[in-house]
Amino acid sequence: MASRNLPDHELLQRCREGNTRAFDLLFERYFNKLNLFALKYIRQQSITEELIMDLMLKVWEKKDNFQEEGSLGPYLFKALKNSMIDYFRKRSSLQLPFVS
Q: Which of 29-33, 61-65, 88-92 is most confident?
A: 29-33
Query: Do residues 64 and 39 lie in contact, with contact meaning Cβ atoms separated by under 8 Å?
Result: no
The pLDDT of residue 82: 97
- pLDDT, one tens digit per residue, over 34-80 is 999 999 999 999 999 999 999 999 999 988 887 766 689 999 999 99
More confident residue, 84 or 71: 84
Where residue 18 falls (left for φ over 0; alpha for ψ -120 to 50; beta otherwise) is: left
Query: pTM of whole model > 0.75?
Result: yes
The pLDDT of residue 1: 47
